[in-house]
Amino acid sequence: MQGIFYGIGVGPGDPELMTVKAISTIRECDIVAVVVSDASLKAPEVEAAGEAARYPEYLKRCVAYQIALPMVPEMEEKAKLYLPMPMIKEKKKLIEIHDACAALTGELLDQGKKIACITLGDPTVYSTCLYVQKRLKRAGYTTELIPGIPSFCAAAARLGIGLVENKEELHVIPASYEIEESLGFPGTKVLMKAGRKMPYVKQKAGEMGQKIRMVENCGMETEKIYQNVEEIPDDAGYYSLLIMKEEQA
């Protein structure tokens, strides 16, 4: 019997914001898939259940794993599937890596394994697990995406503001790419993962004359909240999320 691949959102950072379904599904799975952005991992690898962690540094650096661990401590004893997802923009190289990740994952599914690929936030929003999930689905494997609380919803809640009201539009923008045109859209703009380009993003966003707020590391112990653009540091971290919106009465 063929296994099932689950893409599971663990929420933005606070373990208590994980859904009951996410927790129960991880518990039911045989293997926990961990996405690794570190360039030192060249190919996907499997670690047997109960085996001493060969890559403890990958588990420590995986934000999704650290979020889920307090709620599902039995993950430590489960088999691990390490999936390399380097932060590069070389399309050909990325396709090769994603194909390799899907191929090894498919072999494990052929053995009847249930695999929980855990991801920060929600698996449908800029999630690296989609690169594997799409390939597996096209190949005829059974896959399921389990939603988690998106970071921009959690950030708005932490700021004590609504994202959109009445006829307002909501635009979610990956800030590591060109953003000039997107910033001109009407309604509320959410700029995700703006860390490396923060000075540029602040300059362009400030020209729009809208209220800008930011949450860094939302829901984590290192969370920081900024209520205006003047407070936002140029060296903000990778998990920095800005919300731009016109103030409503």
The whole-number pLDDT of residue 200 equals 80
Segment among 15-24, 52-61, 125-134 with least mean pLDDT: 52-61
Averaged pLDDT for residues 24-44: 95
Q: How confident is the model at residue 229 (pLDDT cuts 50, 70, 90)?
A: confident
Q: Average pLDDT over the chain, rounded to whole? A: 91
pLDDT, one tens digit per residue, over 109-159 is 999 999 999 999 999 999 999 999 999 999 999 999 999 999 999 999 999
Domains located in the chain, CATH noted = 4-146 (3.40.1010.10), 151-245 (3.30.950.10)
Q: Which residue has the higher pLDDT, 239 or 71?
A: 71
User: 3-state SS string over the chain?
Assistant: CCCEEEEEECECCCHHHCCHHHHHHHHHCCEEEEEECCCCCCCCEEECCCCCCCCHHHHHHCHHHHHHCCCCHHHHHCEEEEEECCCCCCHHHHHHHHHHHHHHHHHHHHCCCEEEEEECECCCCCCCHHHHHHHHHHCCCEEEEECCCCHHHHHHHHHCCCCCCCCCCEEEEECCCCCHHHHCCCCEEEEECCHHHHHHHHHHHHCCCCEEEEEECCCCCCCEEECCHHHCCCCCCCCEEEEEECCCC
- pTM here is 0.92
The whole-number pLDDT of residue 117 equals 98
- Residue 249: pLDDT above 60? no
